[in-house]
Structure 1
Amino acid sequence: MKSPTIRRWSAIHTWTSLICTLFLLLLALTGLPLIFHHELEHLLGDAPALRAMPADTPHLDLEQLVLKAQAHRPGEVMQYFGYDEDERNGVVAIMAATAGTEPNSSHTFMLDARTGEAVAMPSANSGLMMTLLRLHVDMFAGLPGKLLLAFMGLLFVIAVISGTVLYAPFMRRLAFATVRHEKSRRLRWLDLHNLIGIVTLTWALVVGITGVISACADLVIAAWRNESLAAMVAPYRDAPPLTARAPASHVLQIAAGAAPGMQPDFIAFPGTRFSSEHHYAVFMKGSTHLTSHLLTPVLIDARTLAVTAVGERPWYMDAMGLSQPLHFGDYGGRPMQILWAVLDVLTIIVLGSGLYLWWGKHRRPQTREARA
């Protein structure tokens, strides 16, 4: 006879698992190829390929690259320049009809920093990898889809914790890792479900919690805009609209002087959600593997090129910055990618076996009634 406490935990585990399982299967299946997205982009031919040139070929300055990008997509405005660690001679450009256009409606391509030649990035705009990413991030439903997946991730975390609570009394009856091969198929799957679940416990909690944080990224960014960014640009609240901006040629050198020892991650041009109507925002990152995911904004007046603020990083932006690469196993190179993939497959087995066990448990009485 189960105690009332165990019955309550069993109900929590059953219903949180059932509600989130189909969504978690979608996330696990789409997340598996995304772990190896760099490799798959090269395999599928989606990775940008720059022309071979002498190693000492100089780079154009930023304003020249801006003009090259505008010539490539006339009628659009520059939103962001980003820097790809895998391509030293490339600059990722993001443009759209207006500076405030939402990210899914923008167009991404790479500029050869030496010539300004535009190179297509299919995986950043369409194709298989982008489809998988959108399914994984928001199911093509924007913010509502992200919030739904965040809620499912929270249910998954509760299911993992409740499953751990239920496993404790189960372990008192059987030795760890016992699989009762002599018993029925359903009991064998129950033992495997429990064993794999407890082995993947830590990973499941890490991926579940980081997934919830990542799914709430839009809310986190909105909080940063309303608090930190608003405080940094407060002196410009009553400033007249920006009619002409200074060339972007030297903004990287200016930002490097304001944040010594750091290197640029991306530049947000005036009017985007990471800057203001009156500023270039250069987001600088640390030089170590950990600090490379922690970004410090340097705000530069877009008319005078004077540094007006060097932002402090609020804890929730650090949490978001650290959670996203950890969620996909981007911290430890190929060994970590392989480990993440193995644990992802094991989680798919746990989710599938949980459905099988629940279905078998509720199907058996109906079958007996039918036979009677």
Structure 2
Amino acid sequence: MKVRSDVLRIYQSIHTWTGIIAGIVLFIGFYAGALTMFKGAIEAWSTPPALTLPQVPTEKLDDLVTQVLARDDKAKTGFRLSLHDEHQSPMTWYQQGSERELSMSNQIWHASLDEQGQLLTQLSTPSELAELVDQLHRTAGIAGEVGHDQAGVYVLGVAAFLYFLALVSGVIFLLPSLTKTFFALRKNKGENRFWLDVHNLIGITSLPFHLVISLTVIVFAFHDQLYDGLKHLVYGDKPLFAIPAPDRTLYSLTELPRIETVLTKVKQLAPEYQVNEMTYMNLDNPRATLRLGLYNPNGFMRGPVTDYLYMHPYTLTVSNSTFDPSEEGIWSRTVAVFFGLHFGSFGGDLGRWVYFFLGLSGAFLFYSGNLLWLEKRRKKQAAEQSHASRLMASATVGICLGSVAALAVSMLLGKWVYSYFSNINYVYLSAYYSVFVLLVAYAFWRGAARAALLILPLCAIATFAMPFTSLLAFVFPQLGLWAPYSMATLGVDLVALAFSAVFFYGYRLTRQRALHGPQDSVWALPVKQSLVENELSQQAQ
């Protein structure tokens, strides 16, 4: 395929500048997004197992619910039952706060039954570490609100639009040489050419994933504006979504159907699904709702983990679902597939691992793209790099690697000091933003090279210390730490260990470049003039 060189240069410029502008915040979104593929495992890893009460057989859940409702008025408004999950207590409800908003001060009651069938309860402030990682994914850590949504969501929405332009322009720019250089990793043509080939190979092979992510992020960020536009242009005075009239009948808690009855009803509606959780809401008013989280490893699910079925908790009348195969459910199913493609909530555990690595590869694309641009600028400029290039290098290292280090340090610190604080969530927040701001400031103060040589080993040490902490907890239980108690929590430690090796390898490469690479690069450490003169004299001899 032949494309005029002037046209190619235009698309190259579009790809470069849209990628540069959007890449830094998208790095945080992709890195944190990769981690959220195992959000439940991170939540379990960060929570002492003593705070989770043992599961009870399904046939005893009715007894558990009856005892709780007889003793606690808060539970009468709503509660959640968790089935088949060793990381969750069988029954929980909010003493303070709600699931509809993220709060650092939520208080949750946990309930279970002992071997004699007696009620066990425990009040705790839940660890929101996994939720904070998800917030990083959604907002890149940008605080503040615009309207009723977070400012960071809109920033990432704009970045995703630029990202989409970068994807399309990058493909057009590569088309003429794609068949010749698609799988070429030309290390013999220089280090810069090799990393450019790696960047292009990862970008092209994962292009469908990146297109889906960019488009879905735009929709997630600007869905209110899209809905308002549809309402005015298409629907007029008609409602965009038909909302059935609520059942105004007031029911008594004693009229709640048995859990087995609910599960039987769900089995009839969706035989291929397993009920993971049952959330009862507004039980004391006409808006009473039962939301069931249904898991199907072979299906596309709307939520990050499950599909949803909404029923009336007393009559079991279905009001909505995300898996309805009937004619009325075509739109919902389409939306569910769209959501599932973003969340990676399909293909079971294998699908989640694939999305995990795709998310990390996306973060690598943004980081490597900035580095390649800086290297290209070095070759075009004089020996002294421009101030703008140095600022971009500092921002790339400080913000991208700084966010990784800050998250690792906050996760590690939280595990060590959990027992010393009544609310560990403020420790997570303080640690993340303190470390992040300090590392960004250091990067701008000392430059990209010195900052990278500090932050990369910090990342390696912090991630290595996570499994080492678990080992200490196993050997010395008196320390007040806790060891992995499931394959999921052990998996968090093993992934952290792998990350540590990657960060250490990255440190070695960066150090090699800083000490022995071109001295006109922003990645070079300043060498004393005497050492330079000595080296030149030795070469002359």
Query: Please, what TM-score do these two structures have when normalized by structure 1?
Result: 0.71
What residue number does 1:205 align with? Answer: 211
Determine if contact 1:196/1:346 at 8 Å carries over to the other structure: yes
Q: Which deviations, in whole Å up to 9, do the C-alpha atoms of 1:121-147 show, x marking residues without a partner? A: 76xx43532321222233354623323
- For residue 269 of structure 1, the aligned residue among 272, 281, 288 is 281
Q: 2:355 corresponds to which letter in structure 1? A: W
Q: 2: distance between equivalents of 1:359 and 1:77?
A: 60
Mind listing any 5+ residue stretches in structure 1 that lack a counterpart? Answer: none
Determine if contact 1:60/1:116 at 8 Å carries over to the other structure: no
Deviation at 1:198, TM superposition (A): 1.2
| SS of 2:311 mapped into structure 1 | strand
Q: 2: distance between equivalents of 1:341 and 1:35?
A: 6
What residue number does 1:18 align with? Answer: 20
1:295 aligns with 2:287: no
1:172-183 to structure 2, matched below 5 A, reads 174-183=180-189
Deviation at 1:355, TM superposition (A): 0.2
Deviates more, 1:5-14 or 1:45-54: 45-54
Deviation at 1:258, TM superposition (A): 6.8
Q: Which deviations, in whole Å up to 9, do the C-alpha atoms of 1:293-331 show, x marking residues without a partner? A: 44332235xxxx456763365666545655556545443
1:154-193 to structure 2, matched below 5 A, reads 154-171=161-178, 174-193=180-199
Change (3 A) 1:207 1:298: same
| SS of 1:296 mapped into structure 2 | strand
| SS of 1:196 mapped into structure 2 | helix
Deviation at 1:161, TM superposition (A): 2.8
How many residues of Structure 1 are paired with residues of Structure 2 in the alignment? 347
Change (3 A) 1:294 1:334: closer
Q: 2: distance between equivalents of 1:159 and 1:56?
A: 55
Change (3 A) 1:108 1:211: farther
Determine if contact 2:161/2:218 at 8 Å carries over to the other structure: yes
Q: 2:320 corresponds to which letter in structure 1? A: G
Change (3 A) 1:141 1:256: farther
Deviation at 1:21, TM superposition (A): 0.7
Q: 1: distance between equivalents of 2:185 and 2:18?
A: 25
Mind listing any 5+ residue stretches in structure 2 that lack a counterpart? Answer: 231-238, 323-328, 387-541
Q: 1: distance between equivalents of 2:331 and 2:79?
A: 22
Relative to its length, the structure with more helix (as a share) is 2
Change (3 A) 1:349 1:128: same
1:269-348 to structure 2, matched below 5 A, reads 269-270=281-282, 278-284=286-292, 288-289=296-297, 290=299, 293-299=306-312, 305-306=314-315, 310-311=319-320, 318=333, 321-322=336-337, 326-348=341-363
Q: 2: distance between equivalents of 1:370 and 1:306?
A: 71
Q: Which deviations, in whole Å up to 9, do the C-alpha atoms of 1:71-124 show, x marking residues without a partner? A: xxx6x974552534424994453426687x8421454554327655345676xx
What residue number does 2:517 align with? Answer: none
Q: 2: distance between equivalents of 1:41 and 1:141?
A: 25
Change (3 A) 1:77 1:286: closer
What residue number does 1:355 align with? Answer: 370
1:146 aligns with 2:153: yes
| SS of 1:182 mapped into structure 2 | helix
What residue number does 1:39 align with? Answer: 41
| SS of 2:189 mapped into structure 1 | coil
Higher relative contact order by CA 8 Å / sep ≥ 6: 1 or 2? Answer: 1
Q: 1: distance between equivalents of 2:226 and 2:48?
A: 30
Determine if contact 1:193/1:350 at 8 Å carries over to the other structure: yes
Deviates more, 1:277-286 or 1:250-259: 250-259
Change (3 A) 1:153 1:86: farther
Change (3 A) 1:16 1:312: same
Change (3 A) 1:54 1:308: closer
Change (3 A) 1:9 1:183: same
Q: CA RMSD in A?
A: 4.5
Determine if contact 1:283/1:298 at 8 Å carries over to the other structure: yes
Q: 1:189 corresponds to which letter in structure 2? A: W
Query: Please, what TM-score do these two structures have when normalized by structure 2?
Result: 0.52
Determine if contact 1:232/1:309 at 8 Å carries over to the other structure: no
Q: 2: distance between equivalents of 1:221 and 1:255?
A: 34
Tell which structure's C-alpha radius of gyration is larger. Answer: 2
| SS of 1:93 mapped into structure 2 | strand
Change (3 A) 1:335 1:287: closer
1:128 aligns with 2:141: no
Determine if contact 2:24/2:367 at 8 Å carries over to the other structure: no
Q: 2: distance between equivalents of 1:217 and 1:61?
A: 41
Change (3 A) 1:29 1:51: same
